[in-house]
Amino acid sequence: MMRPDCLIFDMDGTLWDATDSYARTWNETSRRLGFESNVTGRSLLSLMGKPLADIFDSLFPEGMPVDKETYMMRLMAVEAELMPLIGGRLMDGVEQGLRRLARHYPLMMVSNCSATGLRNFLAYTKLHDCFVDTLTNGETRLPKAENIQLIMRRNGADSAVYVGDTQHDCDETHRAGQQFAFVEYGFGRCADADIRFATFTRLVNYFVTLK
């Protein structure tokens, strides 16, 4: 693998596990809209990485007492209120590893989360200084491949490695014309990653020494 201009990270399953906290925000959103839901971290696990609108359709196939747009707007507000406080669990080695990588590469994040999702992550983890830029599906409504290309263009990067934990991450990275690094400890599987790592620490050691 040739040394890239930048490293771009997925969030859920790659940098942290916040599925139980997300479930809490979905259930709190339902409660504030006047009904009950029973979303669990387990029920969200297989849906991580999808746009929130698609997750809504999977969780509530029969629909809800309110329309999807109303629900999603309230969910984003509840997430912005709660997630910086309750957060998630950083994957092993992530905090120290990101700080080390940031001394060698521009680091960015691209996620299919809500418009505030990555800001919530940074507010909870206090890792703002590690990243030069972030971009979400909630902000652009674009597929991940197009967001990868967009964040690269606005930061003047010609090459990138996207780090993620699902086949969808891999497919979108290749569609964007970039290389994909798969973290095996995450939420999904991947058949055709360009490179794979069992731990975040191994990923860090590889890229720090890559010439």
Q: Which token pair is 45?
A: 């696990």
Q: Is residue 1 part of a domain?
A: no
* DSSP state at residue 12: B
Q: Is residue 144 part of a domain?
A: yes
Asked if 92 and 174 sit in the same domain, the reply is yes
| The pLDDT value given to residue 175 | 98
Tens digits of per-residue pLDDT, 140-149?
999 999 999 9
Residues 116 and 188 grouped into a single domain: yes
- Domain hosting residue 193, numbered range: 6-17+88-209
Phi, psi of 180 (to 5 degrees): -120, 130
Helices (H), 15-143: 19-32, 41-45, 52-59, 68-86, 94-101, 117-125, 137-140
- The overall average pLDDT reported for the chain is 96
Q: Give tens-digit pLDDT for 3-29.
A: 999 999 999 999 999 999 999 999 999
Domain count, the chain: 2
Q: In which residue are the tokens 């090459």 written?
A: 159
Are residues 134 and 144 both part of a single domain? Answer: yes
For residue 88, what are the contacts with CB-CB under 8 A and spacing of at least 6?
16, 17, 18, 19, 20, 21, 121, 124
Give Cα separations from 74 to 11, 25, 28, 103, 156 (angstroms).
Answer: 22, 10, 10, 38, 35
Residues 112, 11: one domain?
A: yes
pTM of the shown model: 0.94
On whether residue 192 sits in a domain, the answer given is yes
Are 109 and 72 within one domain?
Answer: no
User: Which of 86, 116, 134 is a domain's end point?
Assistant: 86
Percent of the chain with pLDDT over 90: 92
